[in-house]
């Protein structure tokens, strides 16, 4: 069986920036083992698998890192939607309904970009048991806990950009990883995400992290709209808008390449 795979850079309009994800539109089911093998072979932070359901406009969506399946991935959802538009699986201005391990996610696409409707991830201010005053030489302003991850607010944008992480320590002192953030200069907020325990030492642009960052910064500032920048080496832009317990994440994407994989004995 031959499987076509698209690689899409998400949260950017320029190739070789933003966050790349592989997308597989499945006409036939694949075993979990084969999905994991494909994700390992692609060796990107996430590979997404999309399948049609019996309801028009509704799809099952799953995400795999090179090492495991994860509950929620924003950039691979954005990439999936963009690739589906390219391949005729979806249409502009017609909502795409994804059924996932994190519930139903809705994406709307237009000529201005894509808008994802995601659950807001609650954050609770707390003190990390190991990193209390400093994180790799940078002063911690405040810390907060969320499901399987920690947020550390640092003093300024430069502290976020210049921080040099020790991935072994992050892996030892987190279940998944760390989000670091600060108020931005050009943008409302800047951030980075380190996830060594999910096979992603530093993620270029992280949708799920911004579901938590929207809650964190809303609690701190009261703002319900944020322009965000993830300050990884590749970099990426996001627009966030809070609506009760949901967050709209807006971004753009570009196709980098497509390939064909030959599968045997699944």
Distance CA 95, CA 108 (A): 5
Q: Are 48 and 76 in contact (CB under 8 A)?
A: yes
Distance CA 130, CA 151 (A): 14
Active site residue 157: no
**Can you give the C-alpha Rg of the chain in angstroms?**
18
Query: Per the residue annotation, which of 46, 115, 153, 239 is the catalytic one?
Result: 46
Q: What are phi and psi of 138, to 5 degrees?
A: -110, 135
* CB neighbour burial string for 183-218, b if at least 16 within 10 angstroms, e if fewer: bbeebbbbbbbbbbbbbbebbbbbbbbbbbbbbbbb
Bridge partners for 254 per DSSP = 9
For the annotated catalytic residues, the residue numbers are: 46
């Amino acid at each position: 069986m031959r499987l076509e795979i698209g690689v899409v850079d998400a949260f950017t309009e320029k190739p070789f920036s933003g966050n790349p994800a592989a997308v597989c539109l499945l006409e036939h089911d694949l075993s979990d083992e084969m999905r994991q093998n494909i994700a390992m072979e692609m060796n990107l932070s996430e590979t997404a698998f999309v399948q049609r359901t019996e309801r028009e406009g509704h799809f099952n969506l799953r995400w795999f890192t090179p090492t495991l399946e994860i509950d929620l991935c924003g950039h691979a959802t954005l990439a999936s939607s963009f690739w589906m538009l390219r391949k005729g699986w979806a249409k502009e201005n017609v909502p795409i309904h994804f059924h996932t391990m994190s519930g139903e996610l809705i994406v709307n696409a237009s000529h201005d970009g894509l808008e994802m409707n995601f659950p807001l991830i609650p954050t609770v201010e707390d003190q990390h048991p190991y990193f209390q005053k400093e994180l790799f030489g940078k002063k911690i302003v405040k810390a907060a806990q969320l499901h399987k991850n920690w947020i550390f607010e640092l003093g300024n944008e430069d502290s976020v950009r210049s921080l040099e992480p020790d991935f072994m320590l992050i892996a030892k002192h987190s279940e998944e990883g760390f989000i670091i953030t600060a108020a931005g200069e050009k943008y409302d907020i800047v951030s980075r995400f380190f996830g060594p325990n999910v096979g992603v030492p530093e993620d270029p642009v992280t949708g799920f992290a911004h579901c938590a960052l929207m809650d964190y910064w809303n609690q701190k500032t009261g703002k319900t709209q944020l322009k965000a920048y993830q300050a990884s080496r590749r970099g990426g832009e996001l627009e966030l808008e809070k609506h009760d317990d949901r967050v709209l994440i807006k971004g753009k994407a570009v196709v980098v390449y497509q390939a064909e994989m030959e599968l045997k004995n699944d």
